[in-house]
Amino acid sequence: QVQLQESGPGLVKPSGTLSLTCAVSGGSISSSNWWSWVRQPPGKGLEWIGEIYHGGNTNYNPSLKSRISISVDKSKNQFSLKLSSVTAADTAVYYCASRPDDGVRMVFANWGQGTLVTVSS
């Protein structure tokens, strides 16, 4: 199974843009997976952010849609998240995950270890 590793700044200023990258190893980003982002505020539950397929199709959480952009870089075997106009409420551990495009499970089967992003001045 693929391994996923998040990277990016751990501190973002309010009103700025959060940018994270997820490196995919042990498999191709062009495989039959959707590539997803999920976040978890400290001490709280999980929130799905959005996902992308290698062809560029995306699905976004309606509550975040106006602020998020997810892209894929096939040459680097990675995908990225941008979240704009951040506030303290966006402080969370951000996970990347893969969702098999099997039409059967509709679940997040593999996860990265997560990276904490704090929004603070």
Which parts of this chain interact with other proteins (CB under 8 A)?
Answer: 44-48, 59, 61-63, 95, 97, 104-109, 111-114
Closest distance to other proteins from the beta carbon of 120 (Å):
21
- Tokens found for residue 35: 């590539």
DSSP string, 76-108: GTEEEEEE-S--GGG-EEEEEEEEE-SSS--S-
| 7 or 48: CB nearest other proteins | 48
CB 72 within 8 A of CB 104: no
Closest distance to other proteins from the beta carbon of 75 (Å):
26
Distances in Å between the alpha carbon of 99 and those of 6, 15, 41, 51, 61?
A: 16, 31, 22, 9, 15
For the chain, where are the alpha helices, taking DSSP H only?
none
| 40 or 69: CB nearest other proteins | 40
| 7 or 59: CB nearest other proteins | 59
Closest distance to other proteins from the beta carbon of 22 (Å):
12
| 18 or 49: CB nearest other proteins | 49
Closest distance to other proteins from the beta carbon of 13 (Å):
26
- Tokens found for residue 94: 């951000």
